[in-house]
Structure 1
């Protein structure tokens, strides 16, 4: 759900729900054009494919740079291992997905006889990129590596184990999405939009927007110029002269400022000067994934499924939205096929060593407005595939300073946040807002862990505060979804439904799916708890589960009496 470059559709806010227009009552729909099966009926390449290609390809490259950079800088993960093991398999997912969407565009054009069909865009999912780095692969690597001064062979073994855990997580995501492709409609009806989008907003605003800004301000001569161009062209939609793509302009200007600043001595030299990109060419190491040794990471993957599955669910809902927005723009793709393609691409990516799931991008109407057809997805598959499978991505990674790339991610975070509010009924805005709170706790916990790792010793009062923060942040994606769902139900005065959300929170707390008291966020059985930290006195998982259960009981009981108490009527669900 992350390819948000050019994402804002070129129609009014009243169409933000992106549902296909219904026919006028009393009128018959105009007849569809008869299928034209002539060989040259479909103009699959057009000038608009150029701008569409730059938007889609640069978004995918930014996600790859982001994943490798964050692993290297935050967790000291070996870059050469990431380039030779992670990147090729991740690129495979983009290649497969975009090729399949290109084929679906040809099929739709042949079926409808239209020459202006635009392919559905697909790429790497930015929210789950952050989730995989900070909550899955990074922690798995640190746990397996041990001390920071571990010998090289231990570091390599830890990197391999983290890779295996990441692969298992991506394959599990793909299998979950494949199952959802058959029941996408019921899922969407059962879970309020505020809950589904609120959890993504939490990741978008707190992680995708905030963390890249740190790198932007670390090199302001590069980052602020790029950010300004991104905000003007992509957020404000102010066109550049000659139709130059905004993302490309921001990247080139930032890269140029980095070169000038380096020559003048204002900025440090190449951001990854120690990397030898020639040594990364034609990687073969990722092919070891075909031996299925990565299945050894499954036991550790089970612990992070409460993190992984909500991200996968988010892309399923995103896939439904993408299909609806494409239909509103005139291209009626089958929803099951769209979600099925993203599931297959994700499974193949994971099985080939990829660590980021793929997703349809909801920018289809914007790409169609640019004049894009199917050439832009075909070109994206070709370029990303060549960059990942030949190892030439290493040259891109070495040349591009993060401060020039990360403004694109800031834009993505802002767009996800804005679109979440656009697509949610106004009465549910508090539900979207409360979903961000657990993510704030996760951000504070992340920074606090860095201080503790550096030797900081909190006193008793601060230790209790940090414990509370850790418990609130554990499983924060699921917590955000539950809190937003409960709040939305309360706003709609569906108290018994709110009680069901609270009961689910109680159940998940009992097993550590949310609010795990342990530093590694492990799952547990309530009857065999490991010793808790001293700061947990009176605030362990049993007490928290009991609190949620009492809240559920209160809401359900209240629901039986609410209709009998004089007061304002329930809010109109359409508001």
Structure 2
């Protein structure tokens, strides 16, 4: 066996990890482009030659840093099975940036009298500036990551990302698969056979590659025959787009434009810090003990550099590290992915892949990653905490529903506003979904943590955790009553919104009082027996 210091840079299973991480990044970039170009009419050339190169530069630099961190960890720990932390473009906040910041800003600039080109440039500058703000914010917060990790139970850390995996990384891609079921379901079956059931692939080919090839062949053979209905779209023509992500000060022009969006931009950065803490704990549970501060700092700096070079979507350490470890990927897969994605933004082949490859072919690997992460949340925590893990899933489910219902292609904005503000039977169901989903990662951590405290027979500790949730609710850090999820000062809200915010905060306060009262009862608190 090779010594860790002389372990090969690449192993054959790194190809599985590379395809998985590449597909993950492609999927997010495809949604970003589809939302901006398809929904809001943003100029495609600006997306592909300005936004993509800077965004992918962050992916390149972050993965290079994680590659060297993994090699260092392998040498220090003496392990030949160290798996690098994957990094890529973040899905939830990229969706949020496209639908809640960049798209609406572009439309508002055009409505204010700007021509389309000027409005597009202003929107791009806003996106860059938003990334710089988030990068600086995350750099500061990265030094507090280990403190959070010490005080939040593993069920809270893993449960919150399992909820993301289940509904955002699992269910949403599953919808794309079933839009073209003949293609997508076959690919998904192969992925599950190879990576879950550990089935043998012909000629020892990587399972992800086999699934990709089968899906693409089915799409290209059956589609022209009309067997896929409207699910088939002929491939777009290949176009070479060369654009270097040079550092630019244009983001400074966008700084004043970020002010109205800061209540939304800052929570995006905060969610990535919390998510980074959670994925580091996930990697630790899988066997790779990375330094939390270093993981967060690398990601923050990658976001900052991407913003300075034209990027508009922040990077994040992906929650799939244990899944890539299960694939057999080690350290080389992040190096390959970083180079392929980074150069793809420069030479334009990434934008071509986004235009050409159907999501039904790309999505099966995302479903596998979602299954692996959700499974880990239960395997890596004691069985008695399973209810806390399950309870932490609900805010993520609400966020997924809010994303779908808030999409103007699903529900017209006027109708959404009407349903949201309908108080004829108390708080409207749509408002509850939206409020429950806003700040869902932090909400999930709080919910799982207070349930863990109760299971451990510590109702007083649970009460203090619930009180913290109430305080965060007052200012919209969680349960923001603003549909976009922004922060606020409660006394500046309109009366109807303030009433909802106070009701949610009061709910936490009342529960805290009940738990405090229960903690005063005589005799030792009962504790669930370990199983």
TM-score by length of 2: 0.83
In structure 1, which of residues 509, 514, 526 is the aligned counterpart of residue 473 of structure 2?
Answer: 509
Partner of 2:184: 223
Match of 2:66 in 1: 101
Per-residue Cα deviation, 1:492-548 (whole angstroms, up to 9, x for no partner):
221122111221222122222233333333432222322426xx8xx5222332332
- Counterpart of 2:314 in structure 1 is 356
Instruction: Say yes or no: does 1:467 pair with 2:424.
Output: no
Q: 1:55 to 1:282 in 2, by over 3 A?
A: same
- 1:4-43 matches, within 5 Å, as 41=6, 43=8
Cα distance change, pair 368–550 in 1 and its aligned pair in 2 (3 A): closer
Mark the CA change 1:542 to 1:143 in structure 2 (over 3 Å): closer, same or farther. Answer: same
Distance, in Å, in 2 between the alignment partners of 1:110 and 1:473 is 42
Whole-Å separation in 2 of the counterparts to 1:446 and 1:373: 34
Unaligned runs of 5+ in 1: 1-32
Compared CA separation, residues 443 and 366, structure 1 to 2 (3 A): closer
Deviation at 1:289, TM superposition (A): 5.9
What's the secondary structure of 2:479's corresponding residue? coil
SS in 2 for 1:546: helix
Shift, 1:281, TM fit: 0.3
Bigger shift: residues 402-411 or 476-485: 476-485
Whether contact under 8 Å (2:129, 2:251) holds in the other structure is no
Q: What's 2:359 paired with?
A: 402
Tell me the distance in 2 between the aligned counterparts of 1:405 and 1:365. 17
Which residue matches 2:508?
Answer: 548
> How much is the aligned-residue C-alpha RMSD, in angstroms?
3.8
Q: 2:275 aligns with which of 305, 311, 314?
A: 314
Is 1:530 the counterpart of 2:494 in the alignment? yes
- Tell me by how many angstroms 1:62 deviates: 3.6
- The 5-angstrom pairing of residues 140-539 of structure 1 reads 140-146=101-107, 163-164=124-125, 166-168=127-129, 170-175=131-136, 177-179=138-140, 181-267=142-228, 268=230, 271=233, 277-278=238-239, 281-283=241-243, 288=248, 291-304=251-264, 305-322=266-283, 325=286, 327=288, 336-352=293-309, 353-359=311-317, 363=321, 370=328, 372=330, 374=332, 376-449=333-406, 450-453=410-413, 455=415, 461=424, 464-532=428-496, 539=499
3-state SS of paired residue (2:87)? strand
Greater mean alpha carbon deviation, residues 162-171 or residues 339-348:
162-171
What is the deviation of 1:355?
A: 0.5
1:285 CA displacement: 7.8
Unpaired stretches in structure 2, ≥5 consecutive residues: none
The CA distance in 1 between the partners of 2:302 and 2:253, in whole Å, is 20
Residue of 130, 138, 154 corresponding to 2:92: 130
1:120 corresponds in structure 2 to 84
Structure-2 separation of matches of 1:293 and 1:78: 20
- 8 Å contact from structure 2 (residues 73, 82) kept in 1: no
CA distance in structure 1 between the aligned counterparts of 2:324 and 2:490, rounded to whole angstroms: 50
Shift of 1:401: 0.7
User: How far apart in 1 are the matches of 2:4 and 2:423?
Assistant: 74
SS at match of 2:317: strand
2:490 is paired with a residue of what secondary structure? Answer: coil
Change in 2 beyond 3 A, CA 1:246/1:78: farther
Q: How many residues align?
A: 520
TM-superposed CA distance for 1:73, in Å, is 5.3
Higher CA-based Rg: 1
Partner Cα distance (1:99, 1:152) in 2: 43
